[in-house]
Structure 1
Amino acid sequence: MDSNVNAINGCHQSIVTIDDVSFFYENKKVIERLNFDIYERDFVGLIGSNGAGKTTLLKMIVGLLKPSAGEVRLFEQPAGSFRDWERIGYVPQKNAFNPLFPATVREVVLSGLYGKKKMLRRLTKADHQKCDDALYAMRIEDLADRRIGQLSGGQQQRVFLARALINNPELLILDEPTVGIDAETQAGFFNMIKHMHQHHHITFIMVSHDIDMVQSYIGPEPAQKSGGLSFYVKHTHELQDCKETNLTHSMQQLRETAEMLG
């Protein structure tokens, strides 16, 4: 980033630091010497053609892949030693899911509450209420007891959106989050995440093929290009006037918007 951007962000915590990162797959270059910083409450739209490395980059950020060279840091900690994964919500591409996975919708959404250090703790009444709120917000409460493999693609993606939101993450990573979802629900979801970015303490990274949607909110020009990747960045470091700042309020905004559109 340029010096002006660095000056703007100088007093804000780095959420993701990508430091001279390269990734090679079977000797094929996917990402080469990428440097990029994402600060608290940034909204980053990541655009690129197929094979440009968008999903690879997200997987390195969430610890599913290790860089071939360089380092990824999360909340100023090396990704390799980062343990507070509940601070990050992640929605992978729909095609990354095994449709035969034997779990109900409710079980999948509740799994978003668990980090590795919390796998064995007992679910509380508050946990179940968070799940109910997420199901309601995504308009899938009537699917709670269905096996996820029985759902349509659009329904499955709503489940994974609910799972990512349930833990009130500080960083929300979305890899083509609205693929397979109808146009009205796409509009409602995008309105919700814009509201969350403007009023709540959440940083966003979103991969999308819909460049018009990204540019409509972030602006027409990328902040940085690297190889086939373009990074669009909107900085929102001052909370706008909003009486409610909890996640349930944001999800209610989605529900109300979706109902109006529907």
Structure 2
Amino acid sequence: MNSNDTSIGNAGCHQSIITVDDVSFFYENKQVIEHLNFTVLERDFVGLIGSNGAGKTTLLKMIVGLLKPSQGEIRLFGQPLRTFRDWERIGYVPQKNSLNPLFPATVREIVLSGLYGKKNMFRRISKAEQQKCEDALYAMRIEDLASRRIGQLSGGQQQRVFLARALINNPQLLILDEPTVGIDAETQAGFFRMIRHMHQHHHITFLLVSHDMDMVQSYIGNEPAQKSGALSFYVKHTHEPENCKETNLTHSIQQLREQMEVLV
């Protein structure tokens, strides 16, 4: 496909989760993204590949509302980005988190904050939600760090915390910008086993930026579904019903635990 194609997949009856319509972005008079069009469908797994400076992180920041397109429109779940308010439906892990090392929150508090939005920020956390937190901590192998201050952790440990925070609310759309940078190879492998399971068996759509070509292509293929400038979009569709009765994070983490026990 070329940059004028408006859909990565065959939409059929599947909801459009992300729609980028003729979007361009300029940074200090330099055009970073030019007339980009694409649609990510419900339950797609999209790998976004590009060289440094190609606009990968810029595009993700526009999708989550941190940057405004210089031209064109972005829609989330069919709603124009300017009016979209259901941010709890989206999990986002940026490439690097700007964090004050003196910030007083603990790891557990940071992860639990993923359950809060403007609509429910003052409510009490339930026992079930506390268990979601413990599961997310376990999935990222940071349960032993739960009481530590976030500013006391290494960069790799902090990234695991923010991954857990993004996963805890069981998002419908999970956006990951180099999610495993600074994480050891064993944890990387476990994390990708988990998100593959979540994609195959649950109603979650993924948009992933990664420099690990082998890892991305081993799951979503060697040929991009679409190219635009220096950006390449690799896509795997999972639009057929699967046989998992459970659809939440706890179930996926249980699958991960079983896989890890086999490997030991």
Q: Which category of TM-score, normalised to the shorter sequence, fits these structures?
A: over 0.9
1:82 equivalent among 59, 84, 88: 84
> Aligned letter for 1:150?
Q
- The 5-angstrom pairing of residues 193-232 of structure 1 reads 193-232=195-234
RMSD: 1.8
**2:107, 2:147 within 8 Å by CA — same for their partners in 1?**
yes
Cα deviation, residue 143, structure 1: 0.9
**1:198, 1:239 within 8 Å by CA — same for their partners in 2?**
no
Between stretches 109-118 and 67-76, larger displacement belongs to: 109-118
**1:138, 1:254 within 8 Å by CA — same for their partners in 2?**
no
> Aligned letter for 1:253?
Q
**In 2 relative to 1, CA 69–161 (structure 1 residues): closer, same or farther, beyond 3 Å?**
same
Q: Are residue 94 (structure 1) and residue 65 (structure 2) matched?
A: no
Tell me which residue corresponds to 1:115.
Answer: 117
> Aligned letter for 2:244?
C
CA deviation profile, 1:5-29 (whole Å, cap 9, x unmatched): 7773221000000000111111111
CA distance in 2, matches of 1:208, 1:24: 23
- Give unmatched runs, 5+ long, in structure 2: none
Between stretches 245-254 and 67-76, larger displacement belongs to: 245-254
> Aligned letter for 2:237?
H
CA distance in 2, matches of 1:228, 1:80: 27
CA distance in 2, matches of 1:7, 1:256: 33
2:144 equivalent among 142, 155, 179: 142
Cα deviation, residue 99, structure 1: 3.6
Aligned to 1:231, the other structure's residue is in SS state strand
**In 2 relative to 1, CA 7–138 (structure 1 residues): closer, same or farther, beyond 3 Å?**
closer
Aligned to 1:46, the other structure's residue is in SS state strand
- The 5-angstrom pairing of residues 149-164 of structure 1 reads 149-164=151-166
Tell me which residue corresponds to 2:25.
Answer: 23
CA distance in 1, matches of 2:190, 2:54: 28
2:40 equivalent among 38, 48, 53: 38
**1:138, 1:255 within 8 Å by CA — same for their partners in 2?**
no
**In 2 relative to 1, CA 21–48 (structure 1 residues): closer, same or farther, beyond 3 Å?**
same
CA distance in 2, matches of 1:127, 1:236: 28
**In 2 relative to 1, CA 66–158 (structure 1 residues): closer, same or farther, beyond 3 Å?**
same
**2:198, 2:252 within 8 Å by CA — same for their partners in 1?**
yes
1:173 equivalent among 175, 179, 184: 175
Tell me the TM-score normalised to structure 2 length: 0.93
Between stretches 248-257 and 44-53, larger displacement belongs to: 248-257
Identity across the alignment (%): 82
**2:114, 2:165 within 8 Å by CA — same for their partners in 1?**
yes
CA distance in 1, matches of 2:247, 2:140: 19
Tell me which residue corresponds to 1:190.
Answer: 192
**2:90, 2:173 within 8 Å by CA — same for their partners in 1?**
yes
Structure with a larger share of its residues in helix: 1
CA distance in 2, matches of 1:43, 1:249: 19
**2:8, 2:235 within 8 Å by CA — same for their partners in 1?**
no
Cα deviation, residue 124, structure 1: 2.4
CA deviation profile, 1:103-156 (whole Å, cap 9, x unmatched): 110111011111222222232223222211211222211111101111122211
**2:9, 2:39 within 8 Å by CA — same for their partners in 1?**
no
CA distance in 2, matches of 1:34, 1:8: 18
Tell me the TM-score normalised to structure 1 length: 0.93
Tell me which residue corresponds to 1:103.
Answer: 105
Aligned length: 261
CA distance in 1, matches of 2:54, 2:223: 18
**1:185, 1:258 within 8 Å by CA — same for their partners in 2?**
no
**2:93, 2:162 within 8 Å by CA — same for their partners in 1?**
yes
Would you identify which runs of 4 or more consecutive aligned residues in structure 1 move more than 6 Å?
A: none
